[in-house]
Structure 1
Amino acid sequence: MEGHLGRDDPKLLIRLPAGLKAWLATTAAANHRSMSKEVEFRLETAMRGEKAAEPASGEASPA
């Protein structure tokens, strides 16, 4: 993670289906995180996974 968020950091307002919001709230509580921090954690984890799956420069990508 890139540090603590503050008032100057950009905000994002999203709409979620009720079931997804409930799952997020439950998961965040189980992980002792706010819902915002849970979303941040999961997005950063997904981003790292995508970067790891990218072929190294110079390698051919699968067709």
Structure 2
Amino acid sequence: MSKRNSKASLFNIKRKLRNELQIIYYEERKSLKHTKSGVESWCMGEVLKAGTSAGIFHKKEFKRGSKV
């Protein structure tokens, strides 16, 4: 596999993973609107932090209403 192809496939994997994680994140956020459990919101914060540090998420994607 050439270097160019491996970079492209890595980019696609990251994009798919980001899309999946965004879906999970927003679904969880919807369900958390009715509960004010600190543990649940802490968990979602950890998911978001891990995704951001891994380069899966970009902070600007979650600026708008990202409070959990």
Scaled to the shorter chain, the TM-score interval is 0.3 to 0.5
Give the structure with the larger helix fraction. Answer: 2
With a CA cutoff of 8 Å and minimum separation of 6, indicate the structure with the bigger relative contact order.
Answer: 2
Calculate the TM-score normalised by the size of structure 2.
Answer: 0.35
Larger Rg: 1 or 2? Answer: 1
